[in-house]
């Protein structure tokens, strides 16, 4: 059995060493986020989803990453201020981490190993190619705002492409199914 997502060391956006142990028994949506991406407005939908589902046991956890065209260049303090001022984000944010490649954080190594394929590969892939980029093949994270759904036991149960928004029925149905268990 691979390492539980609960046991992997992470840092809060304030720099405190922690793990995800405090979220045991909750449904988690882990998202690699960025402030200067075409998908950054997804923060708004993620915050609405958090507001709507937090009382039912959903936690959205944001992991800033600068892996994609350096679209998260800011410091943790700048990221936190940006999210708060522009999108009123109050779901937990963590310290900036690499989510792809050799330097990939152990959390993302565990997530991508547990769920190598994405749901909802949509037009975003083609958009990246049209921009002259070479998108990452699974199991690597494709881009900012890819979403991993973790059940109440800490198991990765679904993975959604970056262009699947927080109000997409595929994502909502999966979240609601896990919350109902």
According to CATH, the superfamily of the domain at 9-180 is Glutaredoxin (3.40.30.10)
Q: Tell me the pLDDT band of 148, cut-offs 50, 70 and 90.
A: very high
Angle ∠(176,13,165) on CA atoms, nearest 5:
35
Domain boundaries, the chain: 9-180
Mean pLDDT of 18-29: 97
Give the H/E segment covering residue 11: strand 10-11
Q: Active-site residue among 8, 37, 109, 172?
A: 37
Question: What pLDDT was estimated at residue 80?
Answer: 96
pLDDT for position 4 = 81
Higher pLDDT, 70 or 1: 70
Find, among 122, 101, 91, the residue nearest to 27 by Cα. 91
Q: Within 13 Å, how many C-alpha atoms sit on residue 121's CB side?
A: 13
pLDDT at 6: 95
Residue 45: the pLDDT is: 98
Return the structure tokens found at 71: 């679209």
Percent of the chain past pLDDT 90, that is, above it, reads 87
Interval 142-169 mean pLDDT: 96
Is 37 annotated in the active site?
A: yes
How confident is residue 1, by pLDDT bands cut at 50, 70 and 90?
very low
- pTM for this entry: 0.96
The pLDDT confidence band at residue 126, using thresholds 50, 70 and 90, is: confident
């Amino acid at each position: 059995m691979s390492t539980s997502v609960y046991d992997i060391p992470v840092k809060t956006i304030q720099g405190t060493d922690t793990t995800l142990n405090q979220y045991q028994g909750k449904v988690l949506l882990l998202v690699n986020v960025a402030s200067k991406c075409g998908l950054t407005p997804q923060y708004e939908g993620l915050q609405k989803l958090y507001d709507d589902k937090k009382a039912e046991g959903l936690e959205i956890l944001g992991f800033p990453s600068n892996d994609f065209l350096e679209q998260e260049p800011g410091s943790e303090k700048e990221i936190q201020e940006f999210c708060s001022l522009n999108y009123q984000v109050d779901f937990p944010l963590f310290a900036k981490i690499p989510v792809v490649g050799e330097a990939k954080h152990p959390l993302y190594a565990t997530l991508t190993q547990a769920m190598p394929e994405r749901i909802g590969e949509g037009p975003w892939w083609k958009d990246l190619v049209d921009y002259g980029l070479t998108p990452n093949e699974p199991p690597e994270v494709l881009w900012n705002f890819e979403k991993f759904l973790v059940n109440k036991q800490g198991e990765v149960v679904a993975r959604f492409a970056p262009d699947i928004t927080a109000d997409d029925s595929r994502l909502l149905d999966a979240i609601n199914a896990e919350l109902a268990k």
